[in-house]
Structure formats: C-alpha cells, structure tokens
C-alpha cells in the first residue's frame, strides 16, 4: 500500500525564470529517511541517493485557461462555454480491452495511492487499451512509456501490461507528488515532461498537444468519476 512521503521541491528558478526558451534538468533524490527531493541541480553528500534525472523540454510562451470537467465528461470554460460534448460510450472492443487490465489498474492504484479512474483515463487517452501501441515519437505500450522513462522505472518489457502499468503508475505518482497532487499539472508533466511544467512556473506549457492531452484525460477522468469535479489550468 502506498504511504505518503515527505516531498521537497528544490528548484531555484521556479517562478523567476524569464518566459524565453530555457532548458533544465530535473533530479529525483531519496535520503536515508525516505524523504523525496526534486531539484534542478545535483545534490551533494552521501545522504542523498539519486533515483533518476531528466532533461526538460524547450519552453515557449505562457498561456492561461480555466475550465471545468463535469460528471458527464463535458469540458466547460469558466464562462459556461462547452468545449467538448459528453464522452462517448466505450465500444465493445474497447470495453473488452479495458476489462482485461482492470485487475492491474486496481492493484497499481492501491500500490501507488492513485485513483483507478485517473489510471483508466490516462491509459484510454494514451493507447485506447492497446498493449502493443507505439507512437510516432517512440512511446510504447498501454501507458505509452518512452524508452528513457521505462528504464527509469525498471520496466523491462514495455509491451507487458503488468510492467507497463506499474511503470506508468509509478511515474504518475512521482508527478503528483512533485506538483502537490495537482492532477492537471501531473498530466501535463506526463505528456510534456516534468521539467517543462517546473520551468514554466508550475503551469501547463502552451504546447497545443499538451493542452489537448490534458483536456482529453480530464474528460475521460470526469466520465469515470461518480461526481463532478473542478480543474483549473493556469
């Protein structure tokens, strides 16, 4: 069962970086007490164990957008404009694939302290539950892990549903911890990289692909959840 750890975010440039394009690494460390540290520079000393580090993507301009995802899976702006309609029912083939990994979703949700609805939403958006899916960018499997991410989380066979979901769930858990349990920022980090979200002032980067991805996952997440919820994209 997942037990929350103390999380420390040590990024010197967050909130003060210019809006021009920048690059930055992100490091994850764990100390002897189990505390987790995310930083943009290496930590010195034997007390810190490096778990992984990743180079951030290039950044561009800043944008703002607010919206609500209701219990019907509709995305609605702060002014009441509907951006997308109700989520379509699952096709028989999609429902069958979903049912085939339900036990893995539930197990990893418990292991990493995640909402099963969120895991389902990410898998549906990433691969439509196709365990052999490969993107044009090289992301693979149910949760579309990039090779570097798969290595980071010890995923040996990305096309094995159990390994892929475990790796994707662990990554999503790290992102939620990094961004104070903010689902929208965790999703943006899953798509664009956590470094982009950090260096962009802890907001969703203005990449069209990432903006659309966050909306899509939230739409599916809203359809999975029994009650309405609010997400605000900054």
CA angle 46, 179, 222 (to 5 degrees): 145
Look at the chain and report how many structural domains it folds into. 1
Q: Reduced to 3 DSSP states, what percent helix, strand and coil does the chain have, rounded to the nearest 5?
A: 40, 15, 45
Check residue 20 and give its pLDDT: 34
Q: Which residue has the tokens 């930083």?
A: 39
pLDDT of residue 225: 64
The set of residues, in sequence order, having a beta carbon less than 8 Å from that of 197 and lying 6+ positions away, is 179, 185, 188, 189, 203, 204, 205
Element (H, E) at 187: helix 183-192
Residue 16, domain member (yes or no): no
Contact 32, 180 (CB under 8 A): no
Q: What is the pLDDT of residue 158?
A: 98
The answer to whether residue 127 sits within a structural domain is yes
CATH number at residue 79: 1.10.530.10
Cα torsion 4, 31, 191, 92: sign: negative
Ordered DSSP codes for 184-224? HHHHHHHHH-HHHHHHTTSS----HHHHHHHHHHHHHHHHH
Helix (H, G, I), strand (E, B) or coil at 37: strand
Residue 10 within a domain: no
DSSP structure class, residue 225:
S
pLDDT given at position 38: 65
Selection from 18, 27, 24 nearest residue 58 by Cα: 24
Q: Would residue 137 count as lying in a domain?
A: yes
> Is this prediction's pTM over 0.75?
no
Q: What is the pLDDT of residue 45?
A: 74
The confidence score (pLDDT) of residue 1 equals 43
Rounded distance, CA 30 to CA 6, Å? 10
- Predicted local confidence at residue 129, as pLDDT: 97
Q: Which of 126, 163, 194, 224 is catalytic?
A: 126
Task: Note whether residue 224 is domain-resident.
Answer: yes
Residue 89 lies in a domain: yes
Residue 30 counted as domain residue: no
Report the pLDDT value the prediction gives residue 43, as an integer from 0 to 100: 75
Please indicate, yes or no, if residue 99 is contained in any of the structural domains.
yes
Calpha distance 17→35 (Å, rounded): 27
Task: Say whether 126 is catalytic.
Answer: yes
Beta strands in 44-173 (DSSP E): 48-55, 67-69, 75-77, 82-84
Q: Which residues of the chain have pLDDT under 50?
A: 1-8, 11-23, 56-85, 226-234
Boundaries of domain holding 131: 62-231
């Amino acid at each position: 069962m997942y037990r929350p750890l103390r999380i420390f975010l040590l990024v010197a440039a967050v909130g003060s970086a210019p809006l021009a394009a920048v690059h930055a690494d992100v490091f994850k460390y764990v100390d002897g007490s189990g505390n987790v540290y995310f930083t943009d520079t290496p930590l010195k000393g034997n007390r810190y164990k490096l778990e992984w580090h990743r180079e951030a993507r290039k950044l561009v301009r800043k944008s703002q957008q607010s919206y609500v995802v209701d219990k019907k899976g509709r995305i609605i702006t702060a002014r009441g404009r509907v951006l997308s309609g109700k989520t379509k029912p699952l096709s028989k083939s999609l429902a069958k694939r979903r049912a085939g990994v339900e036990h893995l979703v539930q197990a990893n949700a418990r292991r990493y302290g995640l909402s099963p609805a969120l895991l389902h939403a990410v898998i549906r958006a990433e691969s439509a539950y196709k365990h052999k899916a490969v993107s044009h960018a090289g992301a693979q499997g149910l949760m579309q892990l990039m090779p570097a991410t798969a290595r980071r989380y010890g995923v040996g066979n990305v096309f094995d549903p159990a390994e892929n979901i475990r790796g994707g769930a662990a990554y999503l858990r790290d992102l939620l911890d990094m961004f104070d349990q903010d689902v929208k920022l965790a999703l943006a980090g899953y798509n664009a990289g956590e470094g982009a979200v950090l260096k962009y002032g802890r907001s969703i980067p203005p990449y069209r692909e990432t903006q659309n991805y966050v909306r899509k996952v939230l739409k599916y997440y809203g359809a999975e959840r029994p009650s309405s919820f609010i997400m605000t994209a900054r």
